C-alpha cells in the first residue's frame, strides 16, 4: 500500500521534525503499542497496536528540518519519506510511505486493501490530529486568516 500526504501546520518546524526524526518520536506522536527496542546497526523494533507484528525500521537519511527517510525489514517491507518546509508562518509536511507484507508477494495487495490500509491511514490521521491539537493549545501561534 502507498500512503501519500501533504499537510501544513502553524507549529514550529522543529516541533514537527522531532516527531519524525526517530522511532522514539514516532511513538510520542502516534502512540503505537510500546517503546521502540534497539536491535543494533540503527534498526529498531516498534510494536504496533492492532497488529501482531512490530515494525522493524531504520532511519536511512535525516537532514535536520528538511527530510527524514526510513526503511522496513522483517515481516513488513517498504520505505517512507517525509519532507519539511517553512513558509509564511506555516510548516509544510509532505511525504510518502510504501509498506507491504514481505512474504505475501502479489497477494499482499489484497490483504492490505482488506485488512491493513484503513488502520494504517487511521494511524497517520491520528498523528495529524495530535499536531492540530497542539496548534490550538499553543497561544503564541495563530492561523493566518483567523483571529
- Name the nearest CA neighbour of 16 among 3, 28, 4, 31: 28
- For the entire predicted model, the pTM comes to 0.82
pLDDT of residue 114: 67
For 81-136, the pLDDT digits (tens) are 999 999 999 999 999 999 887 666 666 676 666 667 777 788 888 889 999 999 88
Is the model more confident about 113 or about 24? 24
For 41-85, the pLDDT digits (tens) are 999 999 887 777 888 999 999 999 999 999 999 888 899 999 999
Structural domains in the chain, sorted by start: 2-137 (3.30.530.20)
CA–CA distance, 24 with 36 (Å, rounded to integer): 6
Amino acid at each position: 500500500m502507498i500512503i501519500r500526504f501533504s499537510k501544513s501546520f502553524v507549529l514550529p518546524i522543529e516541533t514537527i521534525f522531532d516527531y519524525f526524526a526517530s522511532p522514539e518520536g514516532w511513538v510520542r506522536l502516534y502512540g503505537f503499542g510500546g517503546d521502540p527496542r534497539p536491535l543494533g546497526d540503527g534498526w529498531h523494533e516498534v510494536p504496533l497496536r492492532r497488529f501482531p507484528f512490530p515494525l522493524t525500521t531504520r532511519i536511512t537519511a535525516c537532514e535536520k528540518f528538511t527530510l527524514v527517510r526510513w526503511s522496513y525489514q522483517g515481516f513488513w517491507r517498504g520505505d517512507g519519506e517525509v519532507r519539511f518546509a517553512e513558509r509564511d508562518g506555516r510548516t509544510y509536511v509532505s511525504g510518502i510511505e510504501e509498506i507491504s507484507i514481505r512474504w505475501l508477494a502479489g497477494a499482499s495487495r489484497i490483504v492490505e486493501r482488506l485488512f491493513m490500509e484503513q488502520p494504517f491511514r487511521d494511524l497517520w490521521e491520528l498523528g495529524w490530529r495530535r499536531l492540530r491539537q497542539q496548534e490550538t493549545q499553543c497561544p503564541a501561534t495563530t492561523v493566518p486568516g483567523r483571529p
